[in-house]
Structure 1
Amino acid sequence: MLWTYFHVSVPDANAPFRLMKTDYVAEYLPLMPENYNLPNALMTAFGAYFHRKIRFIPISFKPRQGGTNSINIRKIVKIGRQALHDFCEIQKAAAKKRG
């Protein structure tokens, strides 16, 4: 989806760990709707889209030790539909900012 809307390719847009400077967050956070569901993915996409200096370092995780995934298929589909709509609107705002 990030390639379709922003023409960027990143290794894992929704990786669970990222380190960002406050000026980076302050610059791009206003482009997202309030209560946006996938902020990590967009913050990563913005870095690539606006040609910011970003670096990806591979890390590994141990498999889940217990519990179950709290998001079921119905929720995933709903999140996906909303993301399609939001990405379209956010891409317009990002393109306007980019000039």
Structure 2
Amino acid sequence: MGELRAFKRPDPLWREAVGETLRRRRSDAGLRLVDVAKRAGVSPQYLSEVERGCKDASSEVLAAVAGALDLTVLQLATMTVAAASTPATARGGAEVMCLAA
């Protein structure tokens, strides 16, 4: 019969992890995407793509967005690594189970 077994998700790509950190920081600060984008000198559409992990932002763009959130690039990287090192359930994510038939 079928069995339940845990499915280990692959580690997120760096762009996905950084985007998640940026979005969480912006949201926690109560800032709108358009306001952060304006401060950073990028379009809201581009910032949205970075936050969703769809775009690999340059170091210059990451520095600008981090600065708009009152962070340094080093702080952003440290926060990203710390968040990626915690289990998904602790970050508010769901644990995934695969059903084998």
Check whether TM > 0.5.
no
Of structures 1 and 2, the one scoring higher in RCO (CA 8 A, sep 6+) is 2
The alignment's TM-score, normalised by the length of structure 1, stands at 0.28
**Greater strand proportion:** 2
Larger Rg over CA atoms: 2
